Structure 1
Amino acid sequence: MAEAKVKICGLQDVEVLKSMVHLPVDYIGLVFAPSRRKVSPEQASGLISILADWRTSQAPIAAGVFVDPDMDELYKILSAAPLGVIQLHGTESPAFCREVKEAFPGVQVWKALSVAAQGGEVNHELALESYAGTIDAVLLDTYDSAQRGGSGRTFAWEQIPDYHKRARAIGVSLYVAGGLSPDNVGGLLTAYAPDGVDVSSGVESDGVKDIAKITAFVERVKQS
């Protein structure tokens, strides 16, 4: 089984990122959608510049998190901040995902799907199969009526195998987010073996990224 990828999302502070340069992190997430973790294109550019100092064999890829952006917003942000992933967290259609993929060659497109805590896919109109050929990965996150992601709550993990099978059928990777922490990520990986995991609030203390928790999370992932 391939080693799971790890994404640390919601980064805002250059010093925190500098403290991570020795860790085998695969992706860093920069939030451009409305959020307390939102960064400006200029902030994102400064954070991305730190990736050149990474001390592991491969530097992380910068992923930008968007909710129902228009193409003008994407062009503006990517001209300032060279992202390797565009992560779409809203109700973006397969046609829009295809437009993004064609507009930014070489940039991965990830589509987030909200999954209810007690079972059942929330966005029924966003059938995973309809995104075949338009995305590189699907990210499962916990449905929250008040916000897109960052809820700090897990969803019903027993749904993962079905999504994993469907993702494999259309040739895309499957990532899991929502309520992950150093304490539970090992169990997730052992039981369900997603291609990667995405964490934000689970590596924070009092709303601020905590390098000890980030280190523990990355170690749990890479040891599983």
Structure 2
Amino acid sequence: MMSISKVNEKPLVKICGLQDVEVLKSMKHLTVDFIGFVFARSKRQVIAAQAADLVKVLSEWQVRPLPRSVGVFVNPSVEEIEEILRQVSLDVIQLHGDESPALCRELRAKFGVDVFKVFSLNNDPNQAAEDIDLTLAPYEGVIDAVLIDTFDPVYGGGSGRTFSWERSIPYQIWARKMQIPLFIAGGLDPDNVHELVNGYAPDGVDISSGVETNGIKDMIKMTAFVERVKKA
């Protein structure tokens, strides 16, 4: 298992929702740290065989270190993860539902993967920091990164909408105490990511729809996004 707990000088970039091999090949010159493949119900969902072909492309990346492969799941069973991992080499399991600390611990121990736990922010902008700490505390020592996203009633996250970035601060404080990265997702795009990075200094950013045009990953938008994050 590779440690990613060290806070990076430049924010980590994760581009999620890849489905097309040729699109992924066109990205090989980008300084991307994580590439995400969605196994949960979504318009960007992939099956295991499709993801296996996509993951092979990561070994051809022209920028080092190579991007790490991330499988995105919502409330999976251990058996579901195991079946996917028989067919696809994943470095990270990203859990986007109500997964317990016990499941996170089991996945790390059984499969030797890193586990990213997503917390979707509810509609209460005044959620107390104490309540956030109570939510996060059981995950101490069993996850490798925290990712916060805007709540979506259908999928839980992946709404493509931003939240007030001030709300990330209690999560960031906890993640720093745990010495693990904090990723921010939700409504990011090449035009607003510079403000986020410079104003709130997350350890990583996660994007999908914000670098698409008509539902397809857009090379110009992806290049602009990565450059603006890494130069911020």
Shared topology, TM-score over 0.5?
Answer: yes
The answer to whether structure 1 residue 70 and structure 2 residue 77 are counterparts is: yes
Q: CA deviation at 1:151?
A: 0.8
Aligned to 1:38: 45
In 2 relative to 1, CA 151–126 (structure 1 residues): closer, same or farther, beyond 3 Å?
farther
**Is residue 31–residue 63 contact of structure 2 (8 Å, CA) maintained in 1?**
yes
Aligned to 1:103: 110
Runs of 4+ displaced beyond 3 Å: 120-126
Aligned to 2:16: 9
Q: Which runs of 5+ in 2 are unaligned?
A: 1-7
**Is residue 89–residue 148 contact of structure 1 (8 Å, CA) maintained in 2?**
yes
- Pick from 185, 189, 211 the counterpart of residue 203 of structure 1: 211
In 2 relative to 1, CA 183–118 (structure 1 residues): closer, same or farther, beyond 3 Å?
farther
Aligned to 1:159: 167
Aligned to 2:220: 212
> How many residue pairs align between the two structures?
223
Aligned to 1:115: 121
- In 1, distance between residues paired with 2:133 and 2:40? 22
SS across alignment from 1:127: helix
Normalised by the size of structure 2, how large is the TM-score? 0.92
Q: Which runs of 5+ in 1 are unaligned?
A: none
- In 1, distance between residues paired with 2:133 and 2:52? 35
Matches within 5 A, 1:123-202: 127-202=135-210
Q: CA deviation at 1:116?
A: 3.2
CA-based RMSD of the aligned residues comes to 1.8
**Is residue 39–residue 72 contact of structure 2 (8 Å, CA) maintained in 1?**
yes
After alignment, is 73-82 or 142-151 more displaced? 142-151
The answer to whether structure 1 residue 49 and structure 2 residue 73 are counterparts is: no
Of all paired residues, the percent bearing the same amino acid is 53
Q: CA deviation at 1:118?
A: 5.8
- In 2, distance between residues paired with 1:118 and 1:183? 26
Normalised by the size of structure 1, how large is the TM-score? 0.95
